[in-house]
Amino acid sequence: MKERRRPERGRPNVIEIVVRVPADKADAVKAYAGRISRRRSPALRDEVISRLRSRPDIMDRFGVKALFLFGSVVREEAKPTSDIDLMVDFFPGRPGGLFAYVELKHALEGLLGRPVDLITSGNIKPRLKKRILEECMLVYGEGDARR
């Protein structure tokens, strides 16, 4: 990979990176580069909720019992660079390991077109737990984050 420290005109925080990839992966790399280089508007709460609710097949495939939205998107304080904070509860015995959990995270990122911070109710940092549980919005399934 070659990195050229020549800023683009009018874009001082952008550098050019040249990479070599297998020919069959070139289109995917170009598409990814195009997605991350576009200027984005902040994620909108209603749009995020609508997209998540539009794909129950993803939730079913990974054994999602309930999915909650929290953070800057719920508070309508998201910036173009903000990730989307989600808390998931699974049916017993699911998601079937770390790889399935990571695969769900990637599926949600693909659906939403943004980075996702995916947590479970069991792994909330104690210092953040009260705030997170107070602002959680149920977007899929059944459950109460404050149980």
Distance CA 40, CA 36 (A): 9
Domain boundaries, the chain: 2-37, 45-141
Q: What does the CA dihedral 100, 79, 16, 10 come to, rounded to 10 degrees?
A: 170
Q: What is the pLDDT of residues 117-134, one digit of tens each?
A: 999 988 999 999 999 999
pLDDT in tens, 50-69: 999 999 999 999 999 999 99
pLDDT of residue 142: 87
| CATH top-level class of 45-141 | alpha beta
CA pair distance 144, 132, nearest whole angstrom:
12
- Write out the H or E segment, with its range, that includes residue 38: none
